[in-house]
Amino acid sequence: MWGLRATLQGLDQTGHLPVGFDPARGIRSLFPSPQKGRINISLLRSYLFSVDGSAATGEISGAYHLRADGAGNWLFSGGISTTIANGGSGRWGAGFVFMFSQDNAGHGFVQTGDYDLIGPPDAAVLQAVVFLIKGGDSWLTANWPQAFAKPAGLYISNATGLNKLPNINNAATDRGFTGGLAAFKGAVVSMGVQETSLGGGGNPQPPSGFPGPIDWGLPPADGE
């Protein structure tokens, strides 16, 4: 059975509550201020958002993890690997857009970078560019009940040689948002290269501890 106290304790222990939040003063501050009238506290079941997925284009593919909360925190991590024999090099773009919008813009984030990756059969390992990006944005705080009720679209783009990447606005416009991409603020980016033994299976993801100890776990169930 869902309980408010256990939910608040879980959110607090995993760093998802706003700084300075005091439950003794009520939970009104957890909800967007424009939302008038009575508050359905069961909405806090959806205070955390999480999705895993993948995307591919050209000679690259990406495996992604996206997480966000009603306090405005967001985290996007994943790995970009080449899908062709002997590897490849070029530029990549990876990102996400929430499918809810109140202003015709696609709200999300796109990160770009370079890759020069060795693939089979030239090596005994599969290389991937891994990244972890985190930040905070007030749009999430103001819209989380509606935004988290809908999915997020995952995005990837690719350019080889001296070609330029497609405009990152495509992450939004390709999904019908005529206002383009409204990029989340406060992004802190960490990147590296990961090597996985061939035959190990699985999609490339930032290894444990990359770039540091970050664990936004779900609130514990009642009785745990």
Mean pLDDT calculated for residue range 183-206: 72
Alpha helices in 33-137 (DSSP H): none
Does the pLDDT of residue 196 top 90, yes or no? Answer: no
139-193 per-position pLDDT tens digit: 999 999 999 999 999 999 999 977 899 999 999 999 999 999 999 988 888 888 8
Of the candidates 69, 193, 86, 79, the one whose C-alpha atom is nearest the C-alpha of residue 136 is 69
**DSSP line for 165-190:** PPPTTHHHHTTT-TT-EEEPS--EEE
CA 40, CA 56: separation in Å to the nearest integer? 40
pLDDT band at residue 215 using 50, 70 and 90 as cut-offs: very low
> Can you tell me the distance from the alpha carbon of 194 to that of 127, in angstroms, rounded to the nearest whole number?
6
pLDDT in tens, 115-151: 988 766 655 567 889 999 988 999 999 999 999 999 9
Task: Write the pLDDT tens digit of every residue in 78-93.
Answer: 999 887 777 788 999 9
Mean of the per-residue pLDDT values of the chain: 82
Report how far residue 70's alpha carbon sits from residue 148's, in angstroms, rounded to the nearest whole number: 9
**Residue ranges covered by each domain of the chain:** 49-197
Q: Which residues pair with 193 in a beta bridge?
A: 129
pTM, two decimal places = 0.83
